[in-house]
Amino acid sequence: QVQLAESGGGLVQPGGSLRLSCVVSGRPFRVAVMGWYHQTPGKERELVARISTVGTTNYADSVKGRFTISRDNAKNTVYLEMTSLKPEDTDVYYCHGRWGTNVYWGQGIQVTVSS
């Protein structure tokens, strides 16, 4: 059974930072393309950042220069370092893993940016 377990969300003030983590079990982590998505109620889930098996990254324009995705294959974990957070970053964030044509999602974690 594949599991993607997110942690690290919460409430932060504008300008603050958070680090999201996603631990993967049930599939060989190092061969997965991993990503983070966000979703606002009533809207489609959108890509925030993605990292390939060899560490190539891409980002949504709205987070470039502020967010960093990374992976630790030894810990089966993908991270999303979020800095200079803005109120519009408030959303539920989902960990995403793709093994070929097989895709799995975490349950989602709330990030709220508010003073």
CB count, 10 Å around CB of 111? 20
Residue 6: the pLDDT is: 97
pLDDT tens per residue across span 71-97: 999 999 999 999 999 999 999 999 999
Distance CA 67, CA 64 (A): 6
Distance CA 47, CA 69 (A): 12
pLDDT tens per residue across span 8-20: 999 999 999 999 9
Distance CA 115, CA 105 (A): 30
CB count, 10 Å around CB of 54? 6
Average pLDDT for residues 89-111, to the nearest whole number? 97
pLDDT tens per residue across span 25-45: 999 999 999 999 999 989 999
Q: Give residue 85's Cα distance to chain centre.
A: 14
Polymer length of the chain:
115
Residue 36: the pLDDT is: 98
DSSP bridge partners of 113? 12
Residue 41: the pLDDT is: 87
